[in-house]
């Protein structure tokens, strides 16, 4: 059998290997969107200022300054977290119970029992004000 007789089979094999490689790499390395970004910080309401303090004490190590993300956790100032896709209650649940990895290539988020319900509420207000200042608003979630 000559090489030219095997070209279709080789092309199909290369295509399949490339596809498998792309899928595997998606689960091994963080996406480009996970790179920390520049976040515009507005004048915060008093509630959001309290939320910033609680965020800095409990969330900044993974989610970065002003929710911009780090190599440990995703940015919260990202359209994926708009209120139509992640309602405020989803942040509450994530902090109280933890959440398995589902949008990003970071590991699971562990529960944060040291963060009180009130702290979560003000943190969410802070994140929402950051999101709005950066053009992220409610969009209906589509499956």
Segment 103-138, tens digit of pLDDT: 899 999 999 999 999 999 999 999 999 999 999 999
Q: What span, in angstroms and rounded, lies between the C-alpha atoms of 90 and 80?
A: 12
Model-level pTM greater than 0.85?
Answer: no
Q: Using a pLDDT cut of 70, give the percent of the chain over it.
A: 75
Q: Which of 3-17, 18-32, 36-50 has the highest mean pLDDT?
A: 36-50
Tokens standing for residue 132? 């709005």
**pLDDT at 102 > cutoff 80:** yes
Q: What span, in angstroms and rounded, lies between the C-alpha atoms of 137 and 23?
A: 30
Q: Between helices 117-133 and 46-58, what is the axis angle to 10°?
A: 110
Specify whether the CB–CB gap between 94 and 84 falls below 8 A: no
What local confidence, expressed as pLDDT, does residue 7 receive? 56
């Amino acid at each position: 059998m000559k090489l030219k007789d095997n070209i279709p089979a080789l092309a199909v094999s290369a295509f399949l290997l490339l596809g498998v490689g792309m899928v595997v790499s998606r689960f091994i390395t963080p996406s480009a969107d996970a790179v920390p970004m520049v976040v515009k910080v507005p004048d915060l309401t008093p509630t959001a200022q309290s939320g910033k303090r609680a965020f800095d004490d409990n969330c900044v190590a993974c989610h970065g300054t002003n929710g911009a993300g780090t190599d440990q956790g995703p940015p919260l100032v990202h359209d994926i977290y708009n209120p139509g896709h992640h309602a405020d209650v989803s942040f509450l649940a994530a902090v109280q119970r933890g959440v398995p990895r589902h949008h990003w290539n970071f590991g699971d988020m562990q529960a944060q029992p040291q963060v009180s319900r009130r702290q979560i509420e003000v943190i969410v207000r802070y994140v929402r004000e950051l999101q709005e200042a950066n053009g992220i608003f409610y969009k209906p979630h589509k499956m």
